[in-house]
Chains A and B, each alone.
Chain A
Amino acid sequence: MIAYILRRLGMILLTMLLASVIIFSVTQLLPGDVAHVILGQFATPQAVENLREELGLNRPIIVQYWDWLTSFIRGDWGISMVSRLEVRPMIMERLRNSLMLASVSLLFYVPLGILLGVIAALNEDRLADQAISGISMAFAGLPEFVTGLILIGILAISLDILPANSSIEPQTSFKEAFPFLILPAITVSLTSLGYIARMTRSSTIDVLRADYTRAADMKGLPRWQVLTKHVLRNSLLPTVTVVAMGIGWLIGGLIVTEAVFGYPGVGRLLIYGIQRRDLILIQAISMLIVAVYSFSNLAADILYGILNPRIRLGG
């Protein structure tokens, strides 16, 4: 197991290295170089040249890349081109917010999705199944700004029980921030719920049809025991992977939801960076998102291995 984790960590390092090359090259390909961007359209060529010299942009690309990568690893993520502030604390603050939103969302939609999936599977092709599958897929299909606005309209404006705007101050404690997290979390959950429910439904149906489930029934075990002990232990394994895929998206991909609610997460910072052509910021956030994806997948695979004796003990 330890050897496995070490090898996977090696793979992750390789992935990140590859990602860093791609991220760096893409940002280099963007039209206009950094000096132009910083100084604006009307800068004199001399000023641009001076700044290029100062930023080291005249050096060969390989050297620039190496320099950027090594300082990134050391924890020096650079200075924002726009705000002239250090990038790392800026991102870390947003990362904390994103993590808060992600955990609230996960705690909400994972159990609910599993529950709905199991209910649907047990009532395969009956009304409950069709209702659950239909409604959850409809929500998964609706763009987040639509569900978000509907939720604001109902829960914030008509009923006035939750805040419509979630633009909290940095450093807000989790306890204080909680009410502001609910609406964005529900919005995100409605989108993800369908995937979890469908995944759980299809794998549970497979397991319900398996010979060992029939054997467990024929053993005369109480129905709930057949379900919890014999069925779910096997049928929830694929769901673990889907949940892990969701984590990466929750950290870096909630651009629309964060915009609708004005929530200061990583996604919004990324959009801000892109709008201002803040290459340093974009690079750092992209690297962070790659890392989150890699590690959440590793966590899922490890968890899958622990839950599945065939992998845990070898064949």
Chain B
Amino acid sequence: MATDDKPTVLEVKNLWVSYATDDGPLNTVRNVSMKIRRGEIYGLVGESGSGKTTLARALVRYLPRNGSITSGSISLAGTDLLALSPGELRKVWGARVTMVHQDPSKAINPSITVGEQIAEMARVHLGMSRAQARHKALEMLEKVQLPDPESVAGRYAHQLSGGMLQRILIATALTTNPQFLIMDEPTTALDVTTEAVILDLVRDLLREYQTAVLYITHNLGVVARICDRVGVMYAGEIMEEGSIQRVFTHKLHPYTLGLLGCVPRIDIDKRDITLHTIPGHIPRPDALPEGCIFGPRCTFNDNTCHQTRNPLMEVEPEHFTICGRWADVEKSIREDFAQEKAIKALDQKDAPLVLDARNIEKQFKLRRSGLSNLFSWKPEVVRAVDNVSIRVRKGATMGIVGESGCGKTTFARCIAGFEQATSGDIFLEGEALPYSIAKRSKSTLKKIQLVFQNPDASLNPQHPVGQSVGRPLALLGNVLQSEIDQCVRELFEAVNLPADYVNRLPHELSGGEKQRVAIARAFAADPELMILDEPISSLDVSVQASLMNMLAELQKVKGTAYLFISHDLAAVRHLSDWIAVVYLGRLWEIGSAEDVFTPPYHPYTEALLSAIPIPDPNIHQERIRLQGSVPSAVNIPSGCRFHTRCPRKIGPICENEEPPWQNVHRFHSICCHIPLEELTAMQVPVASETEEEQQ
């Protein structure tokens, strides 16, 4: 690798970090060693609770008050960081080490202009005058490709989009040209299209600056796209470490293998695979199992695993693992794919219609927020959903994808009756539904159930979860009072929760378990249509995988129709039979999942697909990027409303005329001015090159 001969910037040896808690010390990071060279991006992956963020904060000695480094050493280009006084440390922070935080809207001070937040860096560390620092700030804003730096510099955080704010944080972090940069989930809070643009920018800038980078993420696709090396962290220790190529092709630890198996992929064209899952939970640092810490969740474990705990071993050059059975793990990879089992869906094209929503529109009257609204008394109209028609058949899943703010959730809320549609028709099993939930009959309410992103939203924190699941049974009158307990237990079994969980309170459950309860509660009413609004987005990949498997299984058994809303295209691809692509309140492409994900695509679909980080470094995706963010639904662009960002815009026709619907075939339509033959000719399948390479 090109970076091998570069000098080491960060060297960590046998680092232990401990938190003082009421129950005694918690060793959250144990015996971690790592090296990051100049110009190298080191990806640190792991699920929540694995200690990634604690490690990052320990590396710069910025731990919470109850945290401390108990042993080990950290050396930054020859400086022993643990020997520095707090005053000396502040001279290192910002000058030699900088950090980009997770949520850019929170990491930028709301009452200081963004330009000043960059300039203060230059004044303190580069000794610049006010004028010089101002100039430097503009230069950095230009470096991160923000249009019109002059005007951006004078604005406040709330006036800028998430993508712009993240660029500003990156600009700030690079102002002093530091030796070492920590990026903590820098794109997690962003849309997939924005994430792709930011990742490109980060990659290019870091190549130019030759900074050593620790890149923390839970997203293996992101690691594959921008990192040189990766360390897989689990319960406070590094399980496997090596170059991207080696780790992704020869996974030498069952945890890495498990994580990769959990992720649904858009490039594997098999709708009938069951995702892998990792059973169990991450152990608490004060309750580690004997022997290998991954042992109890590992499918490879044998007796030796429960007795010995291995250190990181170099099993091939620059590739380390702690797994004693790495050879077996590596061998298993091929067999692994053969074990995929098929879930055959109903032949949906003829299945009865459950939901038939026609020309749904939803407009909100809105006053602009802040004092500026007082200048205009006329309320503005937001066209959140503008003429969307969608059908869902029994036993089938309709996936709705689009960036945040495209109207997908509003559409679902109109169907559910939480929002009253402005116009359109909603038919459920052929029966026209009133817009408002208050006017719908009890039997209709029973037929439509919802699962939200945040399970806490549907569980009463004061009630045992069994009671929350039993409520709809009693209220909607499917079952006799005496049978409720039995039904609740059956539902818990269906969602793979132990029966004794019925008496627990929501706060005693993990996020994934709570979401299972929410799903059990929704199924309690035995609905015909289940609306799933980002049900897995806030969960770890292994939990996501088991929930997706469960949803697929439940659908197979019960024949429920799903309306699945997500910004995660891979998850939508995995779970859906049909996919609708939404942008600015309108449908642009609709068809079966296979068809939507193969050319011809709508240019917007193409851009979304190209943006998804695929967890395989051998795949080279087409680089189609959308600039800027979704325009406001108050001022919708003329003609084709996607023309302001369309990478394949053909001319004035796009600005002036609404595009026509074109049928690729009976079950696949695209709304675009570009003729289908031309689209097919210029587009390539997602990650096609790799599939050919592999064969």
Contacts and interface: CB of A to CB of B under 8 A. Distances in A.
Interface of A: 1, 3-4, 7, 210-212, 214-223, 225, 229-230, 233-234, 305, 307-315
B368 A314 contact: yes
Contacts of B103: 211
Nearest to B156: A309
B480 interface: no
Interface string B351-384: 0000000000000000011111111000000000
Contact of A219 (B98, B102, B106, B371): B98
Interface residues of B, number: 38
Contacts of A315: 158-159, 368-370
A220 B95 contact: yes
B156 A313 contact: yes
Interface of B: 60, 62, 90-95, 97-99, 101-103, 106-112, 120-121, 124-125, 156, 158-159, 169, 172, 368-375
Contacts of B368: 314-315
A218 B94 contact: yes
A215 B101 contact: yes
A211 B53 CA distance: 13
B158 A310 contact: yes
Contacts of A7: 374
22 contacts: A1-B371, A4-B371, A210-B106, A211-B102, A212-B107, A214-B62, A215-B169, A219-B93, A219-B94, A219-B98, A221-B124, A225-B120, A229-B112, A230-B109, A230-B112, A234-B111, A313-B156, A313-B159, A313-B370, A314-B371, A314-B373, A315-B159
A227 B93 CA distance: 16
A223 B110 CA distance: 19
Instruction: List the 10 closest A-B pairs by CB distance, nearest first.
Output: A220-B94, A314-B370, A314-B372, A220-B93, A211-B106, A3-B374, A219-B94, A315-B369, A212-B109, A309-B156
B189 to A, nearest CB: 11
A122 to B, nearest CB: 12
A95 to B, nearest CB: 32
A220 B91 contact: yes
A212 B110 contact: yes
Contacts of B156: 309-310, 313
- Is the contact region of chain A dominated by helix, strand, or loop, or is it mixed? helix
Centre residue among B98, B106, B109 by max chain A CB count within 10 A: B109
Contacts of B169: 215
A218 B371 contact: no
Nearest to B108: A212
Nearest to A315: B369
A221 B121 CA distance: 7
A219 B370 contact: no
A4 B374 contact: yes
Nearest to A125: B65
Contacts of A314: 368-373
Given A210-B106, A219-B98, A311-B370, 12 more contacts: A7-B374, A215-B101, A218-B94, A218-B98, A221-B90, A221-B120, A234-B110, A308-B111, A309-B156, A310-B156, A310-B158, A313-B370
B371 A312 contact: yes
Contacts of A305: 371
Contacts of B102: 211
A307 B370 contact: no
A210 B95 CA distance: 22
A1 B375 CA distance: 9
